[in-house]
Amino acid sequence: MSSTTPVIGVLALQGDVREHLVALAEADTVARPVRRPEELAEVDGLVIPGGESTTMSKLAALFGLLEPLRERVRAGLPVYGTCAGMIMLADKLLDGRDDQETIGGIDMIVRRNAFGRQNESFEAAVGIAGIEGGPVEGVFIRAPWVESVGGDVEVLATYDGHIVAVRQGRVLATSFHPELTGDHRVHAHFVEMVRAEA
Ligand code: GLN
């Protein structure tokens, strides 16, 4: 990291990139879209947005980003994934497409569209371990849940009996979309994780 202001990328292949760029800029970072391996190489942290994980997976392969992403995550890059981003960070996926690939990074099994089958979209207050000031408003849009986690994964939040926020080392994931609410506490928490590596 070159200065005290961390540079945080948002994987900009597909999805709600702009909302994350705004949330990160408001959390005192330099926020940049990442579409190419050279851009990935320059960031201190990365957000993987919500969107459609099957499309994101296809485009990541097409843009030659899948392996570079896996390498940087393995090497300890702080990463935060929301919704489709959570799916991309799962070591194992249920109800994915047959050809769907993930980056991995969290020892968890994620069920894609898990809440979506019951409810296309809903909002709910979610208390997250480590986030002060009360629950955040969780926006769930055809959201995944975490079906199970390995021993090194911290469960940070559950909703309706299902795991919806997790952290393993420097990798954070939520089923829901804090970038859509104007409450940037989860982003600020991630920025602290990035600063801790500076
Ligand atoms: N259901 C979507 C997927 O499979 C995720 C939805 C979202 O990111 N809001 O990627």
Enumerate the domain spans of the chain. Answer: 7-196
Reduced to 3 states, what is the DSSP secondary structure of residue 198?
coil
| 83 in catalytic set | yes
| Cα–Cα distance for residue pair 35/11, rounded to 1 Å | 6
| Cα–Cα distance for residue pair 65/82, rounded to 1 Å | 18
Q: Give residue 131 CA to ligand 1 midpoint distance, Å.
A: 24
Section 94-106 average pLDDT: 97
| 179 in catalytic set | yes
CATH architecture, domain 7-196: 3-Layer(aba) Sandwich (3.40)
| Cα–Cα distance for residue pair 49/32, rounded to 1 Å | 13
**Best residue for ligand 1 mutational test, from 48, 93, 112 (most atoms within 8 Å of Cβ):** 112
Q: Which residue has the tokens 């799916």?
A: 87
pLDDT of residue 53: 98
pLDDT digits 0-9 by tens, 122-150: 999 999 999 999 999 999 999 999 999 99
pLDDT digits 0-9 by tens, 12-45: 999 999 999 999 999 999 999 999 999 999 999 9
- CA atoms within 13 Å, Cβ hemisphere of 139: 11
Residues in the chain: 198
Among 10, 12, 14, 34, residue whose Cα is nearest residue 24: 10
Q: pTM of whole model > 0.75? A: yes
pLDDT digits 0-9 by tens, 153-189: 999 999 999 999 999 999 999 999 999 999 999 999 9
| 67 in catalytic set | no
| Cα–Cα distance for residue pair 82/25, rounded to 1 Å | 17
DSSP letter, residue 163: E
Strand partners, 162: 159
